[in-house]
Chain A
Amino acid sequence: MAVRDYIRDRFFPHMWCPGCGHGIVLNNMLRAIETLELSKNDIVMVSGIGCSSRISGYVDFHTLHTIHGRALAFATGVKMSRPELTLIVPMGDGDALAIGGNHFIHAARRNIDMTAIIMNNRIYGMTGGQYSPLSGYGARASTAPYMNIDQDFDVVQLSKAAGATFVARSTTYHVQQMTDIIRQAISHKGFSVVEILSQCPTYFGRQNKLGTAVDMMTRYKDTTTPIGSKAKKQNPDLIERGIFVQKEMPEYCTEYEKVIERAGGGA
C-alpha cells in the first residue's frame, strides 16, 4: 500500500493503546499526503510531547520530536529558514492549547504557512488522564474526580479569532472527510488549523464511562453534523464538522522576503 511507503514500519506495531484515535489520524493524514503526491523529502513534521506527538516517530519524513507545547516555535524556525518545505505540526489538545496556547495564537496571527493538526482527545493521555483546556465543564479526569468546572475552548472560534486563514474540524469516524480536509489544509498557503476529535478510550473514555473505541466513534457520528445542516438548526448542541475558514491573507515568510529585499539583503 502506498501509505506503507510513508511510514517507518520497523517501529510498528505502534505504542498507542488499542482503539486510540491517534492511529486513525496518522492513517488518514498519510492518505492526504499520498493524494497530494508530495515527496517525502519535502515534508517536515514537527511535534512536541504527548501520545499524539509520538506520531512524528512513525512517519518517514524529516521529523523533529521537540518540547511539550513548543512544536510551532520549532516549526516556525524551520519554515523561516527553508520556506519551500511543507510543514505539518500534529499536536495534542494539551500540547497545543494549554502549555502551547501562546505559540498557537501567535503562529495563527502571523499566518505562517504550516498545517497544525490538533488531535483532540479532551485529556492528557500520556501522563495519565489529567484534564486539559478541552475537557469541558462536567467532564471527569484523574485531576477532576468529581467533575471539571473549567469551561473548554472552542478550537474553531479560537483559531478564527487568532487569525488562522484555514480552519476545519472532523473526527476519527469521518475518515473520508478527514483526509479531504487535511489535503486542503496542507495545500492552503497560510496557517491552517485542523481539529480532529480523537478518542482516548484508556483515560477519557474510561473516566467518563464512554465505553469502547467503537462506542466513542459512534458518538462522534451521532453528536456531529456538517456545517450549517438542518439538523444543527433543530439541535444546536450538535458539533459542526467541515471547513469554517478558507481565505487568502499575506503569508509570513513571503512578507519576510520583502523585508530582506528592502534591507538590500540577498545581494
Chain B
Amino acid sequence: MAKPKLKEHRIERDWCKGCGVCVHFCPKKVLEMDESEKAVAVRPEDCIACKLCEYRCPDLAIEVITES
C-alpha cells in the first residue's frame, strides 16, 4: 500500500486553544505556534502524514487531509 501523501492541514483556529501538544510531539517539526498562540503548519513539505497531531489534539482542531 502506498504511503498517504499530505494534501493539507486543516486547522480550526476557533477551536485551537494553543496547548502546543501537536507542535511538541510532531516527529518532523512541521508545526509551530503563531503570534496568536494558534497552531500553524510552517513546514508542510516535511510532513509524513502520520496524523499523530490530529489524534493527540485535545480540541479536535487539527485534521490532516491526505491525497486518496
Contacts and interface: CB of A to CB of B under 8 A. Distances in A.
A172 interface: yes
A23 interface: yes
A27 B58 contact: yes
A217 interface: yes
Contacts of A172: 56, 58
How many residues of A sit at the interface, in one of the four size bands?
20 to 34
Interface string B31-68: 00000000000000000000010111111110100000
Nearest to B22: A214
Contacts of A16: 58-59
B20 A212 contact: yes
B19 A13 contact: no
Interface of A: prevailing SS? helix
Contacts, number: 70
A201 to B, nearest CB: 8
Contacts of B54: 1
A217 B21 contact: yes
A175 interface: yes
Contacts of B12: 12
A234 B18 CA distance: 38
A214 B59 contact: no
Nearest to A27: B60
Nearest to A31: B55
Contacts of A4: 60, 63
A179 B54 CA distance: 13
B55 A14 contact: no
Given A13-B17, A13-B61, 14 more contacts: A1-B54, A1-B63, A3-B60, A12-B14, A12-B15, A19-B17, A23-B59, A27-B55, A27-B56, A213-B19, A213-B20, A214-B20, A214-B25, A217-B21
Closest 5 CB pairs of A and B: A23-B58, A19-B19, A18-B17, A175-B55, A18-B19
Interface of A: 1, 3-4, 7, 12-14, 16-24, 26-28, 31, 172-173, 175-176, 179, 212-214, 217
Interface of B: 12, 14-15, 17-21, 24-25, 52, 54-61, 63
